[in-house]
Amino acid sequence: MKVFVLYDSLYGNTQKIAEAIGQAFIGEARVSKVTQINLSEVEGAGLLIVGSPTHGGRPTPAVQDFLKNIPGSSIQGTSFAAFDTRSSILIARVFGYASPRIAATLKEKGGMMISPPEAFFVVGSKGPLKDGELERALNWGKKLKEILERK
């Protein structure tokens, strides 16, 4: 089965989370920046996991472009899950977050959400990741794998 963990990352935190999620799928997952993947490769994916840093309450422009350019026909019925990284600073809450927006777009394109959007926290605005987040990411990946196997 083809599992994709696709992300964008400015300071490296989202990349670390994506790699930890990928580790749950021993040998099955391709972990890649959204800018380094050809859209045609995603067609027929068994699971599409898309993550982004939250910037102004949204995914980064690279993730937004990637989502916009996915042809609906290529992810019709495809299982997906979305995650984001976000600041633990409370003021950031007013803008909303990236992962619900990623999920909404993938749903609109016909994807099938297998788990609610997940959030991982960085300290301050640039990171590092809060303690325990990499482990939580690995466990989230394992949970997604189980959900997929039960389907």
Ligand X SMILES: Cc1cc2nc3c(=O)[nH]c(=O)nc-3n(C[C@H](O)[C@H](O)[C@H](O)COP(=O)(O)O)c2cc1C
Query: Which residues contact ligand X by CB under 6 A?
Result: 9-15, 53-57, 85-87, 92, 95, 122, 125-127
Q: In the complex with ligand X, which residue's Cβ is closer, 53 or 79?
A: 53
Nearest distance in Å: CB 68, ligand X: 20
Do residues 29 and 22 touch, judged by C-beta distance below 8 A?
yes
CB of 105 to ligand X, least distance (A): 17
Tokens 């809450």 map to which residue? 93
Report the nearest approach of ligand X to the CB of residue 106 (Å): 20
Minimum CB distance to ligand X, residue 13 (Å): 3
Our CB check for ligand X shows the closer of 4 and 121 to be: 121
In 91-141, at which residue ranges do the beta strands (DSSP E only) sit? 112-113, 118-122
In which element (H, E) is residue 48 found? Answer: strand 47-53
For residue 46, with 0-12 CB atoms within 10 Å meaning exposed, 13-18 middle and 19 or more buried, which class applies? Answer: middle
36 or 40: whose CB is closer to ligand X? 36
